[in-house]
Amino acid sequence: MGKSFTLGEFLKSYNTDYDCLKEIIHIKYPDGVACKNCKIITHHYLLKTRPVLSCSKCHSQINPLKGTIFEKTTTPLKLWFYAFFVMINSKGGVSAKGLQRQLGVTYKTSFRMLHQIRKLMADNSGDLLKGTVEVDETWVGGKSFLRGKKWWSDWKEIPKTTVMGFVERGGRVRTTIIDDTSRWTLTKEIKANIDLSARVMSDQHHGYQKLDQDGYEHYSVNHTVHYVDKYDKTIHTQTIEGFWSQLKRGIVGTYRHVSPKYLQNYCNEFSFRHGNRNSQDQFRILLGKI
Reported pTM: 0.86
Displacement of CA 59 from its chain's centroid (Å): 39
Q: Where are the domains of the chain?
A: 132-287
Displacement of CA 31 from its chain's centroid (Å): 28
Give the C-alpha separation, 41 to 149, whole Å: 70
Q: Around 149, how many Cα atoms within 13 Å sit in the side-chain half-sphere?
A: 11
Q: How far from 263 is each of 46, 145, 150, 290, CA to CA, in Å?
A: 39, 21, 31, 21
Burial class (CB in 10 A: 0-12, 13-18, 19+), 241: middle
Q: For 202-248, write each residue's pLDDT tens digit.
A: 998 988 988 989 899 999 888 888 888 777 888 889 999 999 999 99
Q: How far from 242 is each of 16, 56, 109, 187, 267, CA to CA, in Å?
A: 39, 54, 32, 23, 14
Which run of H or E residues covers position 8? Answer: helix 7-13
Taking residues 89-111, what's their average pLDDT?
Answer: 93
Q: What is the pLDDT of residue 1?
A: 42
CATH class in words for 132-287? alpha beta
Q: For 115-153, write each residue's pLDDT tens digit.
A: 999 999 998 888 999 999 999 999 998 665 555 555 555
Beta strand pairing call for 61-62 and 53-55: antiparallel
DSSP-assigned beta bridge partners for residue 129: 194
Q: For 24-79, write each residue's pLDDT tens digit.
A: 999 999 888 888 888 888 888 888 888 888 888 888 888 899 999 999 899 999 99
Cβ neighbour number for residue 117 with a 10 Å cutoff = 24
